[in-house]
Structure 1
Amino acid sequence: MRTVIYHNPACGTSRNTLALIRHAGIEPQVIEYLHEPPTRERLRELIAGAGLSVREALRRKGTPWLEMGLDDPSLDDDALLDAMLAEPVLINRPFVETDRGIRLCRPSEVVLDLLPPVARPFTKEDGEVVIDAQGRRVL
């Protein structure tokens, strides 16, 4: 299954998402978007494919969004995209694309909707069980 993750290795959610993909037996194409940001067109595709607005795809935590005035409700999508492309840390993460669709995988277990069934147990870095010993997804 073709799988692409827009990944930030410093982010626990992104690391857990990547680990779940690999746990499913898939080696994805990993794009470290802070170093290789998507094009404007690709970013629009990811956001629209995930069913989000541009504003919903804007990361706030740990970013300069407030200092950049991006809380201004009058800013249009083009202005927000300009900011996200100029400062890729403003792109929320991780976006994952497979043959089954595109999702912003927050929380990380959202990625399971894009993967073939996984029956082996999986626990996140912080100890939270995502798939139990019986192979059931824990909600």
Structure 2
Amino acid sequence: MSLQMYWYPKCGTCRKAKKFLEEHGVDFKEQNIVDEPPSQEELTRLIQKSGLPVKKFFNTCGKKYRELGLSRKLKELDEQEQLKLLASDGMLMKRPIVTDGDKVTVGFKEEEFKEKWLS
């Protein structure tokens, strides 16, 4: 099983996730979420597979999120507008996003990674 990991190399959480996968011998491909953000179509698939709402894919702690005042603005946008905004800038995305094409994790929680990617 080869995973796709959308990550940002300077992100500490992403580095922890990468280290976890490497230490457990999990095969994965990296895609820099800033240089090559997933398209709106790919994000739509990831969100559908994850079962999470679009809002869970936003990096609410990020500088860009705060600069754009998205804590208020997101409430006014419909799902398609949120997706378009999310796809426009990888720094707006919560990371890492990991998928095997069927399952999806957003962020890094060791227990969730053990459950999803080691079983």
More helix, by proportion: 2
| TM-score strictly above 0.5 | yes
Match of 2:81 among 71, 79, 91: 79
Q: Compute the RMSD of aligned alpha carbons.
A: 1.9
- Count of residues in Structure 1 that have an aligned counterpart in Structure 2: 117
Normalised to the residue count of structure 1, the TM-score between the two structures is: 0.74
Equivalent AA in structure 1 for residue 78 of structure 2: D
CA, structure 1 residues 79+66, in 2 after alignment: closer, same or farther (shift >3 Å)? farther
Q: Residue in 2 aligned with 1:115?
A: 117
Cα distance between partner residues in 2 of 1:99 and 1:64: 28
**Paired residue for 2:59?**
59
Aligned to 2:64, the other structure's residue is in SS state coil
Secondary structure of 2:104 counterpart: strand
Q: What's the TM-score, normalizing by structure 2?
A: 0.85
My pick for the range that moved more, 44-53 or 59-68, is 59-68
Between the aligned partners of 1:43 and 1:99, the Cα distance in structure 2 is 12
Matched, 1:39 2:39: yes
Distance 2:102 2:87 in 1: 26
5 Å-filtered alignment, 1:1-139, equals 1-70=1-70, 71-72=72-73, 73-98=75-100, 101-116=103-118
Consecutive unaligned residues in structure 2, runs of 5 or more: none
Distance in 2 (CA, whole Å) between partners of 1:87 and 1:53 is 18
Distance 2:68 2:39 in 1: 21
1:14-66, Cα deviation, whole Å (9 max, x unpaired)? 11111111111123111111101111110111122222111121112123224
Distance 1:108 1:33 in 2: 21
Q: Which runs of 5+ in 1 are unaligned?
A: 118-139
% identical equivalent positions: 26
Tell whether the 8 Å contact from 1:2 to 1:99 is kept in structure 2 after alignment: no
Q: Is the Cα–Cα contact under 8 Å of residues 96 and 111 in structure 1 kept in the other structure?
A: no
3-state SS, counterpart of residue 65 of structure 1: helix
Is contact 2:94–2:107 with CA below 8 Å preserved after alignment?
no
